[in-house]
Amino acid sequence: MSIEYAPTICPYCSCGCGIYLVVEDGKIIGQEPWKEHPINEGANCPKGKNAYAFLYSKDRLKNPLIKKNGTFRKASWDEALGLIVSKLKEATPETFGTLGSGKTSNEESYLLQKFVRVVMGTNTIEYVGRLCHSSAVAALLPAVGSGVMQTSQPEIELADCIFLAGVNIMETFPMIARRIFRAKAKGAKVIYSDPRKTATARYLADIHLPLKAGTDVALVNAMMSIILAEGLEDKEFITSRTADFEQVRDFLCQVDLKQAEAITGVSLEKIREAAITFAKAERSCILYDQGICQHTVGADNVKVHADLALLTGNIGKPGTGVNSMRGQISGEGTGDMGCLAVFYPGFKRVGEEAAKFFEDAWGVSNLPTKPGLTYIDMLYKCSHLYIVGTDPMMAVPDVNNLRKALKKANFIVVQDIFLTEIGKLAHVVLPAATWVEREGTHTYVDRRVQKIEKVIEPPGEAKPDWWIVCQLAERMGYKDKFNFSSAGEIFEEIRRCVPQYKGITYERLKRTPGGIHWPCPSENHPGTPTMFLEKFNTADGLGHFQVVGFKPPDEIPEDEYPYVLTTGRSIFHYHTGTMTLRTPKLVDEVSHGFVEVNPEDATKVGVKNKDMVTLETRRGSIEAEVKVTDQVPPGLLFIPFHFPDSCANVLTNPALDPSCKCAETKVCAVKMEVKK
């Protein structure tokens, strides 16, 4: 009998918590707390406690599949790769699009974008960061020069005030909520803006601002206007470290607070209390995520929060900042590796200069210099799609329309661990190894690079994503540029091309529980937990204020669609449900989709708990089970987006934020009727 405790990192959100997998003769038989890990110290959330069950789900993909007359048949790797190569040779840089994954390793994401750029000659490679984080990048690049999380997770405990901008953190990042409770125990105050009275509102927040969905700009402008009126701005910080303050000051002086109260639905008294609490704290820290990002004004929402941090000097020191909560294990890393239509690896903006740099680095010529198509555009416009470890048929708004478009595509390859909703539409499906079935690094929310060791063999014929990409490249005639025999060799190339990762080595990661924060410029550099200590990453090194006025959501309720619909997550499930819906303990908690309805609205419509209703928007309709709760105010409905049987994104609005192409999945107008 051989039993080993193998340390690894949880495969769910981006906190990057440690766990021990208990491995007996090549099979995982249990998991145990890893108490030395600095992020979670042995504790885990419900998902983290059920980290590995999905690996052994009976319906794991074990062989390549080729669709013939509408049904899949098993195929050999040779046959499947041969077919893909013949189809890829038909594609042009304009017709070929690729989606990477926030769940693959940095090495795999890096290799995938290299394939797309070198072999296919296009920058049309994206990942789901476009649908949740692009607003942050669009807002923060001009503001501070980078869209990343600015402080480290442990440093959040140093804050005296934590502003949760639309993050239901007790359910979505419980191990960060734990740090906020620690800060509270030392006297910190928690402000929380969210239309819903979630567990976070009830048990963590001191000041809950239940704003109307999509009115964050009005709320934060009002807060800043109050701070200025009270003279609570950080004058020294504004003078020494920022620019463009005057425009913002002039604009904020004009803000009509009564109007802000009417727009947001939050009493002026509460807005004032939040503003003063935030401004008076020694260290205030803003944490935000999709709650403010997934709007047609997502970038504007992030801009005003950045303004608030700059105005009060709460940025560029530990335990402060405007911090984006990334949803996926390598949500940060996949962006770092350049799986974005506008960035080469290391956030080198697509253009002549970046192309030249990578032509030299990779020993190739004619790399694409024009931005590729963004996520949703690509899905509608490309005839040849390569989709790796992501399910747009669950994640993209207006999926009925997307299905119609994808049915017209000439050729779709899906590389994943299960036959997902998008997989069902594919022509070829490739079985991938995942998580502890291969080695590699991920970059977690606070730029924390951690190493995953291979613990078990992948099932059947499943192969690591990097192996698959190398095979495709070889068959496309690029063997010399993709001549890798391990993830470690790919990581060495990343270190040469991506300056932020230069000082990070596998050897260092192995002996550093909790990993290393990039930027890490050299092998003796400890890594960088806090960004912008000395200056910002902007051209002049200053933080830039940006004036933003309130704009209403794209779609607002009216007679036919009288309710506002918003979407989000449950603590027991993860994103598109691919993994958690195959985890029996989590399915026992919540097995299917539901819609939260205020008791008043339930009475109006004539439904009670567990009744089925039909929800309809201009784009489509779904059925969902009613959950009557005062967690939502009258007029607002909430659906978690994890469940294919009540797919929230059939309903959501594909309207985009023009500045970043992030869709407005957080607000649309909906009708609710008793299911006929």
Partner 1 sequence: MKGDVYIASSTDKEVLEKAECGGVVTSLLKFALESKRADAVLAVKARDGNRYDGTPVLISQPDKVIETAGTLHCTSPNIARYVKEYTDGASDLKIAVVVKPCDAKAIIELAKRTQVKMDNLILIGLNCTGTLPSVKAKKMMKEVFGIDPTDVVAEDIDDDRLVITLADGTQKEKTLMELEEQEYGRRENCRRCETNIPTMADIACGKWGTSDKGTTFVEACTEKGANFIDAAISAGCISIRQPNPEAVQLRRKKDDAAIQSAKQWQERDFSSLKQMSSDERFEYWFGQFERCIKCYGCRDACPICYCKDCNLEADRGLVPPGEVPPDIMFPMVRITHVMDSCVNCGQCQDVCAMELPLSRLIFMLNRDLYDIFKYEPGVDIGQLPPLRTVTEQELSLSGVDVAF
Sheet holding 516-517, edge to edge: 440-444, 448-452, 516-517
Minimum CB distance to partner 1 smaller for 181 or for 357? 181
**From the CB of 155, what's the least distance to partner 1, in Å?**
13
CA distance 83 to 384: 13
Minimum CB distance to partner 1 smaller for 33 or for 521? 33
CA distance 380 to 406: 7
Minimum CB distance to partner 1 smaller for 15 or for 470? 15
Minimum CB distance to partner 1 smaller for 541 or for 584? 584
Minimum CB distance to partner 1 smaller for 50 or for 652? 50
Minimum CB distance to partner 1 smaller for 10 or for 306? 10
Alpha helices in 383-505 (DSSP H): 392-395, 399-407, 421-424, 465-475, 487-497
Alpha helices in 89-202 (DSSP H): 106-114, 129-132, 134-144, 169-172, 174-185, 199
Minimum CB distance to partner 1 smaller for 648 or for 667? 648
**From the CB of 638, what's the least distance to partner 1, in Å?**
14
CA 517, 522, 526 angle in degrees (round to 5)?
40
Helix (H) or strand (E) holding 368: none
**From the CB of 629, what's the least distance to partner 1, in Å?**
10
**From the CB of 199, what's the least distance to partner 1, in Å?**
5
Minimum CB distance to partner 1 smaller for 264 or for 570? 570
3-state SS of 86-107? HHHCCCCCCCEEEECCCCCCHH
How close are the terminal C-alpha atoms of the chain, in Å?
A: 58
**From the CB of 613, what's the least distance to partner 1, in Å?**
18
**From the CB of 334, what's the least distance to partner 1, in Å?**
27
CA distance 56 to 455: 14
Minimum CB distance to partner 1 smaller for 404 or for 585? 585
- Token pair for 487: 């993830």
> Which residues lie across from 72 on neighbouring strands?
67
CA distance 673 to 650: 16
Count Cβ atoms within 10 A of the Cβ of residue 464 and give its class: 0-12 exposed, 13-18 middle, 19 or more buried. buried
Minimum CB distance to partner 1 smaller for 40 or for 101? 40
**From the CB of 184, what's the least distance to partner 1, in Å?**
10
**Alpha-carbon torsion, ordered 585, 588, 593, 597, to 10 deg:** -120
559-576 b/e (C-beta count within 10 Å ≥ 16 → b):
eebebbbbbbbbbbbbbb
Q: What is the binding site for partner 1 (CB under 8 A)?
A: 1, 3, 5, 7, 20, 22, 24, 29-30, 32-38, 40-46, 48-49, 170-171, 174-175, 177-178, 181-182, 199, 202-203, 510-511, 513, 570-572, 585, 588-590
Q: Name which of 393, 464, 395, 397 is nearest 426 in CA terms.
A: 393
3-state SS of 513-536? CCCEECCCCCCCCCCCCCCCCCCC
**From the CB of 305, what's the least distance to partner 1, in Å?**
26
Q: How large is the angle between the packed helices 298-311 and 134-144, nearest 10 degrees?
A: 40
* Residue 336 Cα distances to 33, 92, 360, 408, angstroms: 30, 26, 19, 32
Instruction: State CA 53 to chain mean position distance.
Output: 23
Which residues does 276 contact at the CB level (< 8 Å), separation at least 6?
226, 227, 230, 232
**From the CB of 17, what's the least distance to partner 1, in Å?**
10
Q: DSSP states of 598-628 as a string?
A: -HHHHHHHT--TT-EEEEE-SS-EEEEEEEE
Minimum CB distance to partner 1 smaller for 182 or for 381? 182
Q: Name which of 129, 141, 142, 487 is nearest 339 in CA terms.
A: 129
Minimum CB distance to partner 1 smaller for 20 or for 343? 20
**From the CB of 525, what's the least distance to partner 1, in Å?**
17
**From the CB of 284, what's the least distance to partner 1, in Å?**
23
Strand 242-243 to strand 3-9: parallel, antiparallel, or no bridges (unpaired)?
Answer: unpaired
Minimum CB distance to partner 1 smaller for 103 or for 179? 179
Minimum CB distance to partner 1 smaller for 26 or for 541? 26
**From the CB of 580, what's the least distance to partner 1, in Å?**
12
**From the CB of 639, what's the least distance to partner 1, in Å?**
14
**From the CB of 203, what's the least distance to partner 1, in Å?**
5
